[in-house]
Amino acid sequence: MNSSANKGTQDLNAQKQMETRVETLDYQSSVGQGQEQRPVEIIHQQQTQVSTPQSNTSGGVLANAAASVASTLESAKRAISRK
């Protein structure tokens, strides 16, 4: 890939998160047809997350995922019981 053809900018989005926009080319080809290229814009969004001592370990990631699932299930139970 020709890196000199890529142009990138960094900015804050509406959620106050840093995002990098990169203009580049997308190359596609189909059987029996020539190669097609078109300009595209790729947006990289950096996610900020509060780090706990265990959050960077595989066990910590699973524990955080399990806590999220439990919270979602409790929220769904409350929503259903109100109906």
Each residue's pLDDT tens digit, 13-38: 777 778 888 888 899 988 888 889 98
Inter-residue contact 23 to 7 (CB < 8 Å): yes
Residue 41 β-bridge partners: 23
At CA 68, angle to CA 62 and CA 73, rounded to 5? 125
Residue that wins the pLDDT comparison between 82 and 13:
13
Q: Which two tokens stand for residue 39?
A: 């300009």
Q: Identify the three-state secondary structure at position 43.
A: strand
Query: What is the pLDDT at residue 32?
Result: 85
Query: What is the helix, strand, coil percentage profile of the chain, to 5?
Result: 35, 35, 35
Rounded mean pLDDT of the chain? Answer: 76
Query: What is the pLDDT at residue 57?
Result: 66
Against a cut of 0.85, is the pTM above it?
Answer: no
Type of residue found at 2:
N
